[in-house]
Amino acid sequence: MLDASGLRYGVAGQPVILNDVSLTLEAGEWLGVDGVSGAGKSTLGQLLAGYLTPQAGTVTVDGAPPPRRALRPVQWLPQSPELAVNPRWRVKQILEEAWTPPDALRDAFGIESAWMNRFPQALSGGELQRVCVLRALVPGVRYLVADEISSMLDPLTQLDLWQGLRRVADERQLGVLVISHDAALLERLCARRLTLSEGRLRPSTRHGAPPAIAPKQSPASR
């Protein structure tokens, strides 16, 4: 279980961004978080993944603080993939930085072998996003923070990305925190949804209805 309790984070001289934020994410669970821009959604994601250190509160993974100098069990998938890759590396080196994904997974994410020898600026945003997602699915990763990863994708590519991710997450019992503005998408993907506003997390009240159709079997139905 990914457990964050009492997280607080702010920048000196500005109103505090997160104030006493707590959440839990079970293995295999999909949790949705929405909020207006600037509400601190990405900050929350980075705190959970260990990119930032909270000023108060703790993040634990399966009961222990995440290791600082080993594979991080919580991986943050950023909104802008072009900022998350080394522009001087070829796609093959980027994709295989931490592990070598099997061909079946490459196909599932629609990653073509013709891209391998290219530099990242020669891929479109959506193509590079799929490379970045697959790069993070190293065995040993337990939780993913998907920070608006499909907001720049067209509907078909978005569907493929989530179906690919859903399959891997179901198979390995990954917990996925989905950060998005898209209420319809969160309803499709996540059984539980929270809203971040004024530095606090609250249960989403606007969309109380359970998801009508899950894209694949939900973890609960297995």
Partner 1 sequence: MLEIDDLALQLPYYANWWRRQWAEVLCNVSLEVHPGEVHAVIGASGAGKSLLAHALMGLLPAPYRQTGRLTFQGQPLTAARQRRLRGRELALIPQSLSALDPLVRSQRQVSWAAKRAGHAAARVQHTARQALAHYQLDERAQQAFPHQLSGGMARRVLTAMAHVSSAQLIIADEPSVGLDPQQRDRVLNALAALAREGKAVLLISHDLRHALPIARRVTIMRQGRCVETAPAAAFEGDGHTLTTRYAQALWRALPDNHFSHPETQPAPHVA
Contact residues for partner 1, defined by CB under 8 A: 34-39, 42, 79-80, 82, 122-127, 129, 148, 151-159, 163, 167, 170-171, 181-185, 187-188, 213, 215-217
Nearest to 45 by CA among 221, 214, 162, 201: 201
Closer Cβ to partner 1, 36 or 56, answer by number: 36
At residue 120, φ and ψ (nearest 5 deg) are: -60, -30
First to last CA, the chain: 19
Q: Which amino acid is at 81?
A: P
Nearest distance from residue 61's CB to partner 1, in Å?
25
Strand order, beta sheet including 18-25: 18-25, 2-9, 56-61
Nearest distance from residue 157's CB to partner 1, in Å?
5
Residue 188 corresponds to which tokens in the numbers above? 């499709």
Nearest distance from residue 167's CB to partner 1, in Å?
6
CA distance 131 to 145: 16
- Helix then strand then coil, % of the chain, to nearest 5: 30, 25, 45
Nearest distance from residue 119's CB to partner 1, in Å?
10
Nearest distance from residue 145's CB to partner 1, in Å?
16
